[in-house]
Amino acid sequence: MRKRSLLGYRFDELCGIVEKAGGKKYSAKQIWSWLYKKLVTDPDSMSDLPVILRNYLSSEFCILPLKIESSLKSSDGTEKLLVRLYDDNFVECVIIPEKDRVTLCISSQAGCRFNCAFCATGKSGFKRDLEASEIVGQVTAASEFYGRRITNVVYMGMGEPFDNYEEVIKSADIISDDSGLAIGKRKITISTFGHIDGLKRYIEEDVRYKLAVSLHNPFDDERNRLMPAGKKYPLKNLFLVLKEYALKSNRKVVFEYILMKGVNDSEKHAEELKMLLSTLPSKLNLIKYHGVIGGDFTPLSDVLSLKFYRYFSKTDFPVVFRSSRGEDIAAACGQLSADKRTEVPS
């Protein structure tokens, strides 16, 4: 029988586990500190715990439910980690270092069931949801691997986060806990293609992590060809829900828009985007298309990208080009597939 991982519990749940084993609440605080401040994953190394509790943890739980199988480093410093899960499924996460922060792009599912035409993950099919421990484990493993603490987390890796709602929110709650990894809620972004069922729950529960929506086309018929799941969640319905979110949270919605030549880059697309995004507090991130195996799209040239950007010169919301990182190691937006078995560079 597979052991449970301690990384999959919120602090109050960990307290319950410790108390059930005959320990005290302060022992739970010690374990929490070992796991998330010291990044120690071996119970036998938790030297200030009673021996009986250490033995219990070793016998009943695993700590890290995954293994870094290999890594690739980009010329721009980005590093992609191939992560093996307990059942030999694989996911990828990406370390994106900057001068004053280290962002980790994490996966929430092995594969994806929504099959967006421009995304390598969807082409690999859906395997399973990740458990909260496997999502949190990407953060702790990446911190240890990189030798620096992760400061920002984006749920923009493999999978649709709101299709795995409970485990994603649970993992974000653990990651943001002030007494542990302490990555603030404003430094955690959860991305969705527009999963209205998950968004409604997100609003009802008043979850306060940052929200990003993958838009990529402002016309339903064209968007549905890129993102087949849009047929279930048309833009009219999506924007009604997003307006409710913006009103309740008092936050902007960040929209992601991958530019594809001849697909979504005309003045007509820009005008419709301006109309849609002006209906609520918004920010628009324009993103270069990154080629994927079997992909049918072409990125815009710098000249055409600038032309599209200039269509937004008089908008009431900010529009920026999001810098691309890790394209040379297939770590950029839409390129994660977990199908490369490369060795760790020496």
What separation in angstroms does the CA of 179 have from each of 27, 103, 183, 192?
14, 20, 10, 28
- Average pLDDT over every residue of 295-320: 93
Tens-digit pLDDT profile for residues 20-31: 988 899 999 999
Neighbours of 151 (CB within 10 A): 18
Whether the predicted pLDDT of 346 surpasses 50: no
Whether the predicted pLDDT of 48 surpasses 60: yes
Whether the predicted pLDDT of 343 surpasses 50: no
Last residue of a domain, one of 46, 62, 78: 62
Task: Outline where the chain has alpha helix (H).
Answer: 11-20, 25-36, 51-60, 120-123, 132-146, 165-176, 196-204, 220-226, 235-249, 267-277, 302-310
The verdict on 51 and 185 lying in the same domain is no
Neighbours of 2 (CB within 10 A): 8
pLDDT band at residue 293, thresholds of 50, 70 and 90? low
The verdict on 106 and 209 lying in the same domain is yes
Catalytic residue among 69, 79, 92, 327: 92
Domain contains 205:
yes
The verdict on 29 and 73 lying in the same domain is no
- Average pLDDT over every residue of 324-343: 78
Q: What is the CATH number of the domain that holds 57?
A: 1.10.150.530
pLDDT band at residue 345, thresholds of 50, 70 and 90? very low
Q: What is the CATH number of the domain that holds 74?
A: 3.20.20.70
pLDDT band at residue 341, thresholds of 50, 70 and 90? very low
The answer to whether residue 92 is catalytic is yes
Domain contains 340:
no
SS3 content of the chain, % helix, strand, coil (to 5): 40, 20, 40
Give the chain's domain count.
2
Domain of residue 207, residue span: 66-329
Q: What is the mean pLDDT of the chain?
A: 93
- Average pLDDT over every residue of 285-297: 82
The verdict on 307 and 172 lying in the same domain is yes
- Prediction pTM value: 0.94
Tens-digit pLDDT profile for residues 260-287: 999 999 999 999 999 999 999 999 999 9
